[in-house]
Amino acid sequence: MAESSLPDKLLMVQCLKKKNHVVVVFTGDDAQALKEANIGLSMGIEGTEVAKESSDVVILDDNFFSVARVLGWGRCVYTNIRIFIQFQLTVNIAALVINFVAAVSAGEVPLTAVQLLWVNLIMYTLGVLSIATKQPTRELMNKPPVKPNEDLITDNMWKNILAQAMYQIVVLLTLQFRGESIFGFNEKVKDTMVFNIFVLCQVFNEVNARKFEGENVYDWICKNKLFLGIIGITIVVQVSIVEVLNKFANTERLNWGQWTAYIGIAAASWPIG
């Protein structure tokens, strides 16, 4: 194909596209084929101006290995977006259902405005930072490319989202309506228990959100100091909200036994999904 005429190259691209193939053209002077292809590549130094204007990607250093690096980062960003969506949907579905059911049934919501503000901070700030720390890996490049018509949220992602959300909903609504009779707590301790377990579930959910492709994330987590630091900050702030800022957050101080039990309940969500 490198030695074929320009009309033949264009015809080949058109035929491949008709067969629903994704066509990438890498050439230095064939503007028509570059425009017709799904993705057109041209050299930034040796390529002609016409080719660069017609292409989608210009390799500035004329090093074809740069394309592999770009693909690696593209796949990594796409995977991180999926991880973030899975994490967000799990938290939002659980919080919405828990507050809605409690409000309709008992006329009260277990999560106050201040507590929901902290949950949103976990989701939109610390959650983004923890998820965006994933770097391109060799295993990521060994996987087949994402199909153009593939859904952004895969079936495995939906399974994880629903499994995690259902666990949190069932556990927290049970504690919301039966927590006082089961454990003998007063109402304020019960509300603190629901809030505390909900936040701790999201800490484990940040790990679970990375498992939708069946990869072993635990080795990566142990090596990623930034991710561990963000998880540590989340836990420290949560403890401070419950134990120090209890009047501001409308929470009750907890003893060591209660903390251990709540961490255990939240950790039970780890193998789910």
Residue pLDDT, tens place only, 66-120: 888 888 888 888 988 888 899 889 999 999 999 899 889 877 888 888 888 888 8
Model confidence at 273, pLDDT cuts 50, 70, 90, reads low
**56 shares its domain with 94:** no
Q: Are 10 and 93 part of one and the same domain?
A: no
pLDDT grade for 214, boundaries at 50, 70 and 90: low
23 and 79 assigned to the same domain:
no
Residues 39, 113 within the same domain = no
More confident residue, 1 or 71: 71
DSSP output for 75-119 = HHHHHHHHHHHHHHHHHHHHHHHHHHHHHHHHS--SS-HHHHHHH
CA 96 to chain centre: 19
Lowest mean per-residue pLDDT among 157-166, 194-203, 219-228, 253-262: 219-228
Q: How confident is the model at residue 225 (pLDDT cuts 50, 70, 90)?
A: confident
Select from 37, 63, 89 the last residue of a domain. 63
- Whether the predicted pLDDT of 28 surpasses 80: no
Query: pLDDT value at position 260?
Result: 92
* CATH at 41: 3.40.50.1000
What CATH number is associated with residue 177?
Answer: 1.20.1110.10
Which residue range(s) make up the domain with 37?
6-63
**100 in the same domain as 36:** no
Same structural domain for residues 51 and 85?
A: no
Under the banding of pLDDT at 50, 70 and 90, the label for residue 197 is very high
d(CA 114, CA 241): 10
The reply to whether 162 falls in a domain is yes
Percent above pLDDT 70 for the chain = 95
**Residues contacting residue 248 through CB under 8 Å, at least 6 positions apart:** 114
Domain end: 41, 63, 85, which one? 63
The pTM for the full model equals 0.81
The answer to the question of residue 116 being in a domain is yes
Whether residues 44 and 155 fall in one domain: no
Residue at a domain's end among 14, 35, 63: 63
Given this model, what pLDDT does residue 141 score? 82
pLDDT(213) > 70: no
Mark whether 176 and 41 lie in a shared domain: no
Domain count, the chain: 2
Q: Are 52 and 111 members of one domain?
A: no
- Residues 232-265 pLDDT 10s: 888 999 999 999 988 888 888 988 988 999 999 9
In the chain, % of residues over pLDDT 90: 19
Give rounded-to-5 percent helix, strand, coil for the chain. Answer: 70, 5, 30
- Read off the pLDDT band of 228 (50, 70, 90): confident
Residues 30 and 147 in one domain: no
Looking at the predicted structure, is the pLDDT value of residue 124 above 90? Answer: no
Identify whether 34 is part of a domain: yes
Is there a domain that residue 272 lies in? no
Q: Does one domain contain both 49 and 90?
A: no
Q: What's residue 130's pLDDT?
A: 76
133 and 190 assigned to the same domain: yes
* Residue 23 within a domain: yes
Token pair recorded at residue 270:
């780890």
Flag whether 69 is in a domain: no
What are residue 59's DSSP bridge partners?
43
Is 1 domain-assigned?
Answer: no
Is 68 among the domain residues?
Answer: no
d(CA 58, CA 43): 6
- The C-alpha atoms of residue 256 and residue 254 are separated, in whole angstroms, by 7
Residue 43: left if φ>0, alpha if ψ -120 to 50, beta else—which one? beta
How far is 228 from 206, CA to CA, in rounded Å?
Answer: 11
